[in-house]
Amino acid sequence: MDTGMASSYLTTSLFPGSNIPSLSKSTVSLPFPLQLFGAHGMAEVHWRRGLSVAASTQNPSPWVAEPDVKEGDRERDDGYGAGSLNHVYYNPKKVEFRRPKVGSWAASVCDFVERAVVWAFDAGLSDKKAYLLFDNYAPVEELGPVGDLPIIGTIPECLNGEFVRVGPNPRLKPISGYHWFDGDGMMHGLNIKDGKATYVARFVKTSRLQQEEYYGAAKFLKIGQLKGLRGLFYIAVEKLRLSLGVLDESNGLYGGNTAFVYHNNRLLALHEIDKPYAIRVLDDGDLQTMGLQDYEQRLGHSFTAHPKIDSTTGELFMFAYQEKVPYLIYRVISKNGTLREPVPITIPECVMMHDFAITENYALFMDLPLRFNPTGLPKGEFIFKFDPSKESRFGILPRYATDESQIRWCKIPTCFIFHNANAWEEGDEVVLITCRMPGIELDLELEFKKEKAWSVFSKLFEFRMNLKTGEVKQRQLSSLSTDFPRINEEYTGRKTRFVYCGVFDELNRVIGVVKYDLDEEPCLTTGDLQKGGNVAGVFSLGPGRSGSEAIFVPLKRGMEGPEDDGYLILFVYDENKGTSEAVIIDAKTMAADPVATVKLPRRVPYGFHAHFVSQEQLMQQA
C-alpha cells in the first residue's frame, strides 16, 4: 500500500484550499493545524525490544531509448525474446544517505506534532495492536555470513546457488500503528555450494531505512497509521517533514520487503509501491544492495512485486497501480533490459492489485474491489476497504498491445485475490489458476477485535474466460485454506499440471505444503491435509512448526523431463525450540521425510516471498 499515495490524494481531496504542500514541491508552509504546536528534542532511542526474542502476437512498438546502444548492435531487433541485442545494463541509482540541510529545530517541530497526534488519537503501540511484532514476527538484527551449517541428508546439486526470502523487519520501533506490510525489507539468504550451506541476513539498504537510522527513530508514514481521523494528521506530519527537508523521498519510497525477481542478470528486491532495488550476491553468499533500479530515470512509476518472466522469450512483464489517472500502467522489458513504452489502462478507481498473469499471447489484470479509501478516513475507516457492492472483473489484453483499445473485461463473482499460480490458453479460453477468497479485511485492528490473527482463508480456484462469448466459468479446486502458489516457472504462461501451495491454519501460519494435480478431479469433502482427488501429495511441517513460502527448483532448466522433477525449499520455524531450519522436499514424491534439512544459526521470522538464484545466474551477475 502506498503511503505516499494516501498523502498526495488527501492533500487535494480532503484539504481543498489548505496550505499542506504537495510531496513533489519544495515550498515550505506550516499547514493547518501544525501551527498549534511547539518544538521538542528529537527522539534518539533505538529499538531493541524483541530483537533477541523470539516476494500478442502484434508487432512491438518503439522502445524507450537506452544508453550506449547503437542500431548496428542489433543483429535482430524485434525487441522481444529471440533478438540478440547486446544487454543493456542501467546503473542502479546509489542510495547514499545525505545529511539533512535543515537544522535539528525542524525535526524537533515535526516530532512534537507527531507526539501530539499520538497523544490525542492513539494510545500508542499497545501489545494488542503490535501482535505482528512479537513471537516469530519479531524483528531480528543483520547477520553476516555464517558457514559450515549442520546438514541432515544431502543437498541436491541442482540447488547450488542462493535461496533468498524477504519479509518485513522493522529496524526501529514504530511510533504508533503497525501493519505487517510496514516493516523494512530483511533478506534471508542460504548460499549452497558443493553440499555446504551458508546463512546470511541483510536489510535492503533503502533511503528510507538510512534516513530513519540517522534519526534513531521511525519517521516515515506507516500503513498501520492510516485509519480514521488520526490518519489525516499522520499524513500532515509526513508532509511537514518532507516540506521542511527533514525527510527525502527522491531516492525511493519504501522498503523492498515483498519479493524478488532475477532478470537481465540482476536480482531485484521488490515492493509494489516503489521501484526495484538491485541486489548483488557476493561470493560468500552475502547480500549487497547496489542501489535503486530506476532504469536511469526511465521508470517513472512503481514496479509490481509480482512481475512475470516468459522463460522462452526472456521478457519481463510488469504493471503498476497508483492513486492518480491512469490508475493502472502495463509495461514490458525485453530480455536484454530494454524498456517498452508504458501502456495506460483505464479502470474506474484505484484498487489494490497485488498480482496479475500472462499467457503466450495475453496479459491478465484483476480489477477487484479492495478500494483505495481516503474518503473513509474521517469516518474512522482504514485506507483500503473491500467493497462487495463494486464489480469484480478480469481484463485481458494482448501482451504486446501499444494501447488499451483491445482489452476485454470479464465480470466475475465478487472476490479478492492476492496471488495467482499460472494462466494459459486453451482454444478460445484463457485459463487462470489462482487462490481466491470471498473478501478481505486489511484493517488488522478489526481482526484483533475478533480475537484471531489476520486470516487468509483463500482456496484454489480455476477461472475460464471465453474470448469469443465473454462467458466466465469458475470452479473450486480445493477445500484447503491455501496461498503462496508456486509452479515450475519454466511453464509460466503455458499449461501447468502441478501447483504447490502453502497450507494455512486459522492463525494464518503455514503448517504444510500441498501438491495439486490439475489433471485430476478435485475432492471437496474434506479440508484436512491429506491425499485424495487432485491432492497429489502433502508435506506436513509437524506439530509446533510453521513456515513461509516454498518455491520450486527444477532438476533441469527448460521444459525437459517431467514438470514436477525438482525440489521445494522453504524456511521453517520450530516454536518449541525457538529455532529455524531450511527444509528441502522432493517435489515429485512429496515424501514425508525431507531430502535435506539445514540447521540455521538463529530463527528466521515469518515473511513474504522467496526466490532461487542458480549458480549459473550468480556467475552472470551484472
DSSP per-residue letters across 199-217: EEEEE---HHHHHHHHHTS
At 295 the pLDDT is: 86
The answer to whether residue 282 scores a pLDDT higher than 60 is yes
Could you give the strand order of the β-sheet that contains 143-146, starting from the edge strand earlier in sequence? 143-146, 196-203, 185-193, 161-168, 610-614
At 78 the pLDDT is: 36
Could you give the CA distance from residue 502 to residue 435 in angstroms, rounded to a whole number?
A: 11
Average pLDDT over residues 557-561: 81
Model confidence, pTM: 0.86
The conformation of residue 73, written as its DSSP 8-state character, comes to G
The answer to whether residue 412 scores a pLDDT higher than 70 is yes
The answer to whether residue 379 scores a pLDDT higher than 80 is yes
DSSP per-residue letters across 272-309: TTS--EEEEE-TTS-EEEEEE--TTTT--S---S--EE
pLDDT in tens, 420-431: 999 999 999 999
What is the average pLDDT score of the chain? Answer: 84
Average pLDDT over residues 270-292: 96
Average pLDDT over residues 334-338: 92
pLDDT greater at residue 442 or residue 463 = 463
At 457 the pLDDT is: 82
Tell me if residue 39 falls in helix, strand or coil. Answer: coil
pLDDT greater at residue 280 or residue 295 = 280
In this prediction, residue 525 has a pLDDT band, given cuts at 50, 70 and 90, of confident
The rounded Cα 456 to chain-centroid distance in angstroms is: 16
At 211 the pLDDT is: 93
At 368 the pLDDT is: 98
The count of residues in the chain is: 622
Q: How many CA atoms lie within 13 Å of 545's alpha carbon, on the beta-carbon side? A: 16
The answer to whether residue 11 scores a pLDDT higher than 60 is no
Query: Residue 326: is the preceding peptide bond cis (ω within 30°)?
Result: yes
At 49 the pLDDT is: 31
The answer to whether residue 466 scores a pLDDT higher than 80 is yes
Could you give the CA distance from residue 298 to residue 568 in angstroms, rounded to a whole number?
A: 36
Average pLDDT over residues 302-307: 96
Asked if residue 602 lies in contact with residue 54, where contact means CB atoms within 8 angstroms, the answer is no
The answer to whether residue 371 scores a pLDDT higher than 80 is yes
The grid coordinates of residue 442 equal 486489511
The answer to whether residue 452 scores a pLDDT higher than 90 is no
At 373 the pLDDT is: 95
The conformation of residue 341, written as its DSSP 8-state character, comes to P
Detail the residues annotated as belonging to a binding site for Fe cation: 306, 354, 419, 609
The answer to whether residue 6 scores a pLDDT higher than 70 is no
Asked if residue 199 lies in contact with residue 600, where contact means CB atoms within 8 angstroms, the answer is yes
Could you give the CA distance from residue 249 to residue 245 in angstroms, rounded to a whole number?
A: 10
Instruction: Using alpha carbons only, give the angle 212, 214, 216 rounded to the nearest 5 degrees.
Output: 65
- Please state the three-class secondary structure of 127-194 as a single string: CCCCHHHCHHHCCCCCEEEECCCCEEECCCHHHCEEEEEEEECCCCCCCCCCCHHHCCEEEEEEEEEC
pLDDT in tens, 119-145: 888 755 555 556 778 899 999 999 999
At 130 the pLDDT is: 65
The rounded percent of the chain whose pLDDT value lies above 90 is 69
Average pLDDT over residues 2-30: 41
Residue whose cell numbers read 516471498: 609
Give the chain's end-to-end CA distance (angstroms, integer): 30
The answer to whether residue 7 scores a pLDDT higher than 70 is no
In this prediction, residue 254 has a pLDDT band, given cuts at 50, 70 and 90, of confident
At 96 the pLDDT is: 66
In this prediction, residue 252 has a pLDDT band, given cuts at 50, 70 and 90, of confident
At 436 the pLDDT is: 97
pLDDT in tens, 141-175: 999 999 999 999 999 999 999 999 999 999 998 88
The answer to whether residue 482 scores a pLDDT higher than 70 is yes
The answer to whether residue 596 scores a pLDDT higher than 50 is yes
Residue 447's CB is within 10 A of a number of other CB atoms, namely 16
The answer to whether residue 86 scores a pLDDT higher than 80 is no
Least confident span in 3-17, 39-53, 156-170: 39-53
Report CA torsion sign: 251, 252, 254, 258: negative
Q: Give the bridge partners for 545, in sequence order.
A: 574
Asked if residue 413 lies in contact with residue 436, where contact means CB atoms within 8 angstroms, the answer is no
The answer to whether residue 3 scores a pLDDT higher than 90 is no
In this prediction, residue 19 has a pLDDT band, given cuts at 50, 70 and 90, of very low
Q: What does residue 118 show for φ and ψ, rounded to 5 degrees?
A: -60, -45
The answer to whether residue 74 scores a pLDDT higher than 90 is no
Contacts of 363 (CB under 8 A, 6+ apart): 317, 319, 330, 356, 357, 396, 397, 398, 399
pLDDT greater at residue 28 or residue 207 = 207
In this prediction, residue 588 has a pLDDT band, given cuts at 50, 70 and 90, of very high
Could you give the CA distance from residue 442 to residue 566 in angstroms, rounded to a whole number?
A: 35
Asked if residue 487 lies in contact with residue 504, where contact means CB atoms within 8 angstroms, the answer is no
The conformation of residue 374, written as its DSSP 8-state character, comes to G
